Chain A
Amino acid sequence: MKVLPFAGAALAALLVLSPAAQAHKRWLLPSHTVVSDTQWITVDTTASNDIFYVDMPFPLDGLSVTGPDGEPAEVDNRLQGHRRSVFDVNLNQQGSYRITLVRPLYVSLYQLDGERQHRRGGSPQELREALPEGAEDVRISEVIGRLETFATVGAPNTKALAPSGKGLELDALTHPNDLYDSEAARFRFLVDGEPLSGLEVEVMPAGTRYRDSQEAWTVTTDDDGEVTLEWPHAGRYYLEANHGDDRVENDQADSRRLQYMATFEVLPL
């Protein structure tokens, strides 16, 4: 196999882009997003490129549900099935809930016998110890994927939505449970709490199984880190954004990749 020389910038780009370029889309799909009385909802969790049909489960470690008072909400019936993981959330207060799943992952990239290899692991230390003999050009990338969705009882409020200031996050200028087909939504994206301009955000309507094209579109955040989304029709939408830099949380890693993946429901008016 021919080994291509990589310039520093190209290597960095590859390092940042390649783990997700081969990954599946991941998403949380709530059974209900806008309800008028307190109730349980159920949320499917899966890695699937078929929007929104479940394919592969993954662990629910890193799940946090924040209630309208800013406190953790009740979660029940965690299950990792054969095709999806699932859990129920008790919407027992008026207001908005944020459902978030964040799981840091580390990826080592290296050259071995002239071929590029990569391996996933739970920590840079674990990956360094697992490197095979003769591995060269070793880079450890921190990959932090943040999955989110939202649900609201009664009138929306924003206490649960407050950004944490860490990683790639949504600052919802339009409330994510106040989305209607005849109205544009305005979202801001933050990295470590600061608006990020030039971020590409991909949006895709549900139902890929029943059509011949993805129908995804991409918008880019403006100088204030904001995008405007016009929904072509009511329904559920998958949104994804990726950003790479070297502001690692674990200083044993060389670079980090931030992913934000969210599910929104747009209602007809």
Chain B
Amino acid sequence: MRVALAAALCALAGAAWSAEFKVELEVPRLSVAEYHAPYVAFWVRHDESGAVTPLGLWYDDQEKWLKDLRLWWRRTGRGQSDPYDGLTGATRRPGQHSVDFSELPALADLPEGDYQLVVEAAREVGGREVVRLPFHWPADQAATVDASGDQELGRVRLRTAP
């Protein structure tokens, strides 16, 4: 899956369109007896139409747990199958992580408007949390939006730029 993704990104690298869409997020370090890294899904929702565009998914090839990303599952996941839309990869351990969605073709295709970036995390033997970050797209100037989860997600930051 990653190889295919890398190939897709290489193919795109030469494209002229390169508006910035980067997400930084913290997977919190939790003091629990049994810890599994959370499954995390990213998508954007168009405020006006409600249209959903999947951006990515972190999971460990165990489809059994995908339904626990309940909102993602209902909005888009249950209609997909492996390979899932967007940038997929393995779950991440606690710490700061960043994902660059800038080269994702689905973003380039979005009509102008107001959107929300939705980040959902679900952890086995743990909790589930959804964080939403509003943004305008395409960006007419560099912008940063921050939001924070309470339990399963730490600070989430979205950087957009033309």
Instruction: Spell out A's residues near B (CB within 8 Å).
Output: 21-22, 25, 49, 202, 212-214
Are B33 and A214 in contact (CB-based, < 8 A)?
Answer: no
- List, in ascending order, chain A residues with CB within 8 A of B33's CB: 21, 202
- B33 and chain A: residue at smallest CB distance: A21
Are B151 and A49 in contact (CB-based, < 8 A)?
Answer: no
**Which 9 pairs, one residue from A and one from B, show the smallest C-beta to C-beta distance?**
A213-B127, A212-B128, A49-B125, A212-B127, A21-B34, A49-B124, A214-B127, A213-B151, A21-B33
- B64 and chain A: residue at smallest CB distance: A55
The majority secondary structure among interface residues of chain A is loop
Instruction: Spell out B's residues near A (CB within 8 Å).
Output: 33-34, 124-129, 151
- List, in ascending order, chain B residues with CB within 8 A of A25's CB: 125
- Tally A-B pairs: CB < 8 A: 17
- Minimum Cβ distance to chain B for residue A1 (Å): 16
- Minimum Cβ distance to chain B for residue A51 (Å): 10
- List, in ascending order, chain A residues with CB within 8 A of B129's CB: 212
| Cα(A212)–Cα(B127), bound, Å | 5
The majority secondary structure among interface residues of chain B is loop
- List, in ascending order, chain B residues with CB within 8 A of A49's CB: 124-125
- List, in ascending order, chain B residues with CB within 8 A of A212's CB: 127-129
- Minimum Cβ distance to chain B for residue A95 (Å): 36
- Minimum Cβ distance to chain A for residue B38 (Å): 12
- A51 and chain B: residue at smallest CB distance: B125
- B123 and chain A: residue at smallest CB distance: A214
Other than A212-B128, A213-B128, give 15 A-B pairs with Cβ distance below 8 A.
A21-B33, A21-B34, A22-B34, A25-B125, A49-B124, A49-B125, A202-B33, A212-B127, A212-B129, A213-B126, A213-B127, A213-B151, A214-B125, A214-B126, A214-B127
Residue of A22, A49, A212, A214 with most partner-chain B CB within 10 A: A212
- A242 and chain B: residue at smallest CB distance: B33
- Minimum Cβ distance to chain B for residue A263 (Å): 17
- A218 and chain B: residue at smallest CB distance: B33
| Cα(A212)–Cα(B129), bound, Å | 7
| Cα(A212)–Cα(B152), bound, Å | 10
- List, in ascending order, chain A residues with CB within 8 A of B126's CB: 213-214
| Cα(A130)–Cα(B33), bound, Å | 30
- List, in ascending order, chain B residues with CB within 8 A of A21's CB: 33-34
